[in-house]
Amino acid sequence: MLEKDEKKINKYEFLPLVPLRDIVVYPYMIVPLFVGREKSIVALEQVMLKNKIVFLATQKKAKLDNPKQEDIFEIGTVAEILQLLKLPDGAIKVLVEGISRGKILEYTPEEKYYEVKVETINNEIEKTPEIEAMVRNLLNLFEEYVSYDNRVVAQETLNSIINIDEPGRLLDIISAHIVLRISEKQAILEETDIKARMTKLSQILISEN
């Protein structure tokens, strides 16, 4: 598997889109998805014929079977398909890994599946003493969060999170490990300013502890 900084993702790129129900995928998150809608299956088939890169964006209302442009959040995640398995019932199980945030700029006229022009969003920030202090505080809050019996995170996973030295990556991985409503997870994904995202996530952890 390529490291994140080795992936060739253009700032602007046309990508097949898979709308998601009841889940928000973050960069660096590896998650299995079960896909049954015809448009999404066709989109994934197109992805496998090309570079295995897809755009994932969450629906505003999970129950919609045929969401339109206005029913899908414009901020989502560029992701790589790691594995794809066709199931006996015609659905697809796919394992994806988030690469970077992205914003939908436009939809193409393609009718067989959703295709969008995506602008990738930079996740980097200069590590100043203030940012490093905010990171330490966030880690302390996260350790308190997972110390509760009903919030079990494997010690190996916790250790790997503690050792992450990129603030943006740390924020996304912590966000993926806390239990929140879809609207809250989407709000964190949409916060492109890392310092503001860190403040928002710290406030959420304080309210949960």
Q: Give this prediction's pTM.
A: 0.89
Q: Per-residue pLDDT tens for 124-182?
A: 888 899 999 999 999 999 988 888 755 567 777 788 888 888 999 999 999 998 889 99
Gap between the terminal Cα atoms of the chain: 36
pLDDT at 108: 94
- The mean predicted confidence, pLDDT, of the chain is 89
Distance CA 78, CA 16 (A): 10
Q: What percent of the chain has pLDDT over 90?
A: 70
Q: Per-residue pLDDT tens for 94-121?
A: 999 999 999 999 999 988 999 999 999 9
Per CATH, the homologous superfamily of domain 4-121 is: LON domain-like (2.30.130.40)
Domain ranges within the chain, ordered by starting residue: 4-121, 129-208
Q: Candidates 1.10.10.10, 1.10.760.10, 1.10.3720.10, 1.20.58.1480; correct CATH number of 129-208? A: 1.20.58.1480
21's enclosing H/E stretch is none
Q: Per-residue pLDDT tens for 174-203?
A: 999 888 999 999 999 999 899 999 999 999
Residues near 117 by beta carbon (within 8 Å), at least 6 away in sequence: 12, 13, 14, 104, 105, 106, 107, 108
